[in-house]
Amino acid sequence: MNNENLLFYNEYERFYEMAERSSVFKNFCRDAYGEDFSQDGFSDIKQINRIIDLIPKGNDVHILDVGCGNGKMLGYLQKRTDVYIHGFDYSENAINTAKKLFPANADFKQGIIGEIDYPAEQFDVITSMDTIYFAPDMGEFIQQAIRWLKKDGVVFICYQEGDVMPKTEGPRTTVLAKALQENKIPYEVEDITKETYEMLKKKRETALVYQKSFEEEGLKEWFDLLMIQTDCAVQSFDLFSKEMARYIYIIRKN
Ligand SMILES: C[S@@+](CC[C@H](N)C(=O)[O-])C[C@H]1O[C@@H](n2cnc3c(N)ncnc32)[C@H](O)[C@@H]1O
């Protein structure tokens, strides 16, 4: 696959190579987010545990994560609920690690959002944590994801504004919300901006605790990036929420 021209491709390859090798980064993720999922962003354990409430009980339950990285979030959900896990990501390094870490009842594929396809009615839950931004057409991608869902299935999307996507007025004016409205797809949305602000504060404090260890592992560059990512949470929540927002969108298939 010639991925080199895709947005951030080389950056993510380097990120997942570092995430596999670095023990400081693993410890940092565990302390900052409550669990190490090799996060490149904003998903902490509180957000991920919301997915568990949406997973049906039973023996033949399948969950797909779009932009699954190295699969650690799916691995956690499998440990908690015993589901079959499926994931795709364009990063070869990430998918190689996922296959190694989670070999049982799992299917990990290298694939590009908007290009990869699955047969209809395969999944009970589809999650997309900070990856929908990379879909060439969000509305079209959601239609495709709904096709992949079984009846009564659910799509769970964590969506950030003020980072890759521009900040808009509120949860019903985001680029994603507009795409859903244009495609007449009903959705529920929860605003988690306040808890994200608190999480980013913790992320910054934790990064500072590990600063020396990052430097000793030759990872000053990643420490500096963590400072840039969390700089927005140094100000008051009122100012933060003018620049940033985080929402969870839920789409149900009837
Ligand atoms: C912001 S990270 C989020 C990763 C993970 N879901 C999380 O919450 O920590 C975006 C992920 O999407 C993947 N990605 C970026 N662009 C992609 C694309 N066009 N197709 C497939 N995966 C992509 C990256 O490799 C990365 O794993």
Specify the DSSP class assigned to residue 158: E
Residues spanned by the domain of 161: 9-252
156 part of a folded domain:
yes
Minimum CA distance residue for ligand 1 atom 10: 131
**Residue 42 gets which letter from DSSP?**
S
pLDDT at 177: 98
Is residue 2 included in any domain, yes or no? no
Cα 89 to ligand 1 centre (Å): 6
Task: For residue 3, tell me if it sits in a domain.
Answer: no
Predicted confidence (pLDDT) per residue in 36-50, tens digit: 999 987 999 999 999
Q: How do residues 102-138 score in pLDDT, each as one tens digit?
A: 999 999 999 999 999 999 999 999 999 999 999 999 9
pLDDT digits (tens, 9 = 90+) for 154-182: 999 999 999 999 999 999 999 999 999 99
Report the distance separating Cα 76 and Cα 45, nearest Å. Answer: 10
Contacts of the segment 214-219: beta carbons below 8 A, 24+ positions apart? 214/24, 214/25, 214/28, 216/24, 217/22, 217/23, 217/24, 219/18, 219/22, 219/24, 219/25
Look at the chain and report how many structural domains it folds into: 1
Ligand 1 near 129 CB (within 6 A): yes
Q: Does 4 map to a domain?
A: no
4, two tokens: 């080199």
Does the structure show a pLDDT above 60 at 7? Answer: yes
- Is residue 64 situated within a structural domain? yes
Give 179-226 pLDDT, tens digit per residue. Answer: 999 999 999 999 999 999 999 999 999 999 999 999 999 999 999 999
Please check whether residue 208 lies inside any domain of the structure: yes
Is 204 domain-assigned?
yes
**Average pLDDT score over the chain:** 96
Q: Is the model's pLDDT at 1 over the cut of 80?
A: no
Q: What is the CATH number of the domain that holds 165?
A: 3.40.50.150
Query: Measuring from atom 6 of ligand 1, which residue has the nearest CA?
Result: 129
State the pTM of this model: 0.97
Ligand 1 close to Cβ of residue 130 (< 6 A): yes
Identify which of 132, 124, 250, 123 has the alpha carbon closest to the alpha carbon of residue 185.
Answer: 250
For 64-115, the pLDDT digits (tens) are 999 999 999 999 999 999 999 999 999 999 999 999 999 999 999 999 999 9
Identity of the residue numbered 66:
V
DSSP letters of 82-101?
--EEEEEES-HHHHHHHHHH
